[in-house]
Structure 1
Amino acid sequence: MPILDTYLVSPQLVLQDLLRALPLAAWVLFVVHGLSRWSYLWARSRWGEGVGVYFARKVIHMAAGGFVALLVPFLFREPWTPLILGLILAAYVYIPRRMGRLMTWFQDPSNISEVYYCVSWGLAAFLAWPFDVRIAVFPLFLMSFGDGVTGIIRGIRQRRRVKSWDGTVGFLAVSLPVGLIVFGAAGGLAALAAALAEKSGLIDDNISVPAVSLAILLTAHQAGILPA
């Protein structure tokens, strides 16, 4: 099937998928306004304000973005809904910044990375969909769970936001086995490259991690070396 045909779907199908996403949207709002706030208070009481905010961000990564990403292949039948959801959430977390009403338990005035996360989430699924929906999910897994564990480890051990190697080891411990099991050597390479991209800090990891891993997996797919 030509790539373009994958995106030529009926508005009715997109609307149906959006309606199917409503329970997930409710879950994401609960994570953002409930679960992450509780994790912020818990971590702040033990390690201070900065670690509390960091914890809350990573809880959102894993419990909201990561959990929903794992369900994408089973719930949606076209690529537009993940893109629309990602852009809606990007607007949802960006508008408070513009209005000066930050959700202070997870939003950092000097760091807009949660907006990048939402946009990357939607774009990765949208771009990978015509090739293999699993390719859409794994970069989101890396960005959500790999980076989430990384942040929690660094928060506890370093008490601040820093690109330390202990977090990178945590990233690989979570991501490398999954990559190897699902995609073989290409998956392992994608996990390793994503971990190094995150550690480098040259580009916001909510952009670099999905971009690097998606590029590797799409190249492997086109070369015909991904397992069936």
Structure 2
Amino acid sequence: MSILDAYIVDTSLVIQDFLKALPLVAWVLFVVHGLAKWSYLWARSRWGEGVGVYFARKVIHMAAGGLVALLVPFLFREPWVPLILGLVLAVYVYIPHRTGRLMKWFQDPGNISEVYYCVSWGLAAFLAWPFDVRIAVFPLFLMSFGDGVTGIIRGIRQRRRVKSWDGTLGFLAVSLPVGVAVFGLAGGIAALAAALAEKSGLVDDNISVPAVSLAILLAAHQAGALPA
């Protein structure tokens, strides 16, 4: 089967996957409008407004994007519904920036990184699908849980958004063991490269982390360097 064959639209599979996705959409909305808001209020009461917003963003990363990413290989049978979900959610979180009606418990008027997150989430699964969709899960894990833990550590310790090494160490503590356990040496290299990309801040980490790690895993896959 060619790469393009993986993207042929099978209407019946798309419909089935769409129906499977409905409970996940409900969960994501609950996290955004419920769990994240509660997290924001809890963190704000302890560390201030800025940390509260940052904390809520990372809760969304982990509880919404991260959890759903782990389910992708088990629930979906084609790549279109994950891509569409990511793009629809990107529009959903971008509209408040355009209208000025921000969801203030997690959105920053000067930062649309949550939009990049949603787009990267959908694209990673879509691009990895013809090779092995499981390859997309680890970059999404890094973007969700690795970066999520990083942000929480920095928010609590630094009380501001800064690329400090304590957060990077937290990223590696979460990501390296998982990467090595699942993908061997290539997984460890992907985790390390993603942590350095996040720390550099040269490109928004919601773009750099999945892009760098996905590229490494796809290259390793093509070279036959991933465990069976």
Alignment TM class, shorter chain as reference: over 0.9
- The superposition leaves residues 17-69 of structure 1 with CA deviations (integer Å, 9 ceiling, x where unpaired) of 01110000000000000000000000000000000000000000000000000
Structure 1, residues 128-154: CA drift from partner, whole Å, max 9, x if none? 011011101010000000000000000
Paired position in structure 2 for 1:201:
201
Structure-2 residue corresponding to 1:143? 143
Give, as a single letter, the amino acid of the residue that structure 1 aligns with 2:32.
V
- 1:44 maps to what in 2? 44
What is the deviation of 1:12?
A: 2.3
Quote the residue 2:76 is aligned against.
76
Please tell me the root mean square deviation across aligned C-alpha atoms, in Å.
0.5
Tell me the SS of whatever aligns to 1:21: helix
> In 1, Cα distance between the equivalents of 2:107 and 2:193?
27
Distance 1:180 1:188 in 2: 5
Partners of 2:182 and 2:134 in 1: how far apart? 9
Counterpart Cα distance in 1 of 2:47 and 2:211 = 32
CA distance in 1, matches of 2:125, 2:159: 33
Report the Cα offset of residue 103 of structure 1: 0.2
Q: Which residue of 2 aligns with 1:89?
A: 89
In 1: Cα distance, 2:219 partner to 2:201 partner:
24
Letter aligned with residue 122 of structure 1: G
| CA displacement 1:141-193 (0-9 Å, x = unmatched) | 00000000000000000000000000000000000000000000000000000
Give the distance between the partners of 1:30 and 1:74, measured in 2 at CA.
22
2:95 aligns to what SS in structure 1? helix
Structure-to-structure mapping, 1:1-228, within 5 angstroms = 1-228=1-228
Please give the alpha-carbon distance, in whole angstroms, between the structure 2 residues aligned to 1:159 and 1:36. 18
CA positional deviation for 1:16: 1.4
- Give aligned pairs, total: 228
TM-score relative to the length of structure 2:
0.99
Identity rate of aligned residues, in percent? 88
- SS, match of residue 78 in structure 1: coil
Amino acid at match of 2:181: I
Matches of 2:178 and 2:157, distance apart in 1 = 25
What are structure 1's unaligned runs of at least 5 residues?
none
d(CA) in 1 for partners of 2:13 and 2:134?
A: 21
Q: 1: distance between equivalents of 2:18 and 2:154? A: 36
How far apart in 2 are the matches of 1:217 and 1:50?
35
CA distance in 2 between partners of 1:25 and 1:154 (Å): 29
| Structure 2: gaps spanning 5 or more residues | none
Give the Cα separation in 1 of the matches to 2:176 and 2:9: 35
Task: Name the amino acid aligned to 1:71.
Answer: L
Q: TM (normalized to structure 1)?
A: 0.99
Q: CA deviation at 1:9?
A: 2.7
Letter in 1 for 2:57: R
Q: What displacement does 1:198 show?
A: 0.2
Q: Work out the CA distance in 1 between the residues paired with 2:73 and 2:16.
A: 15
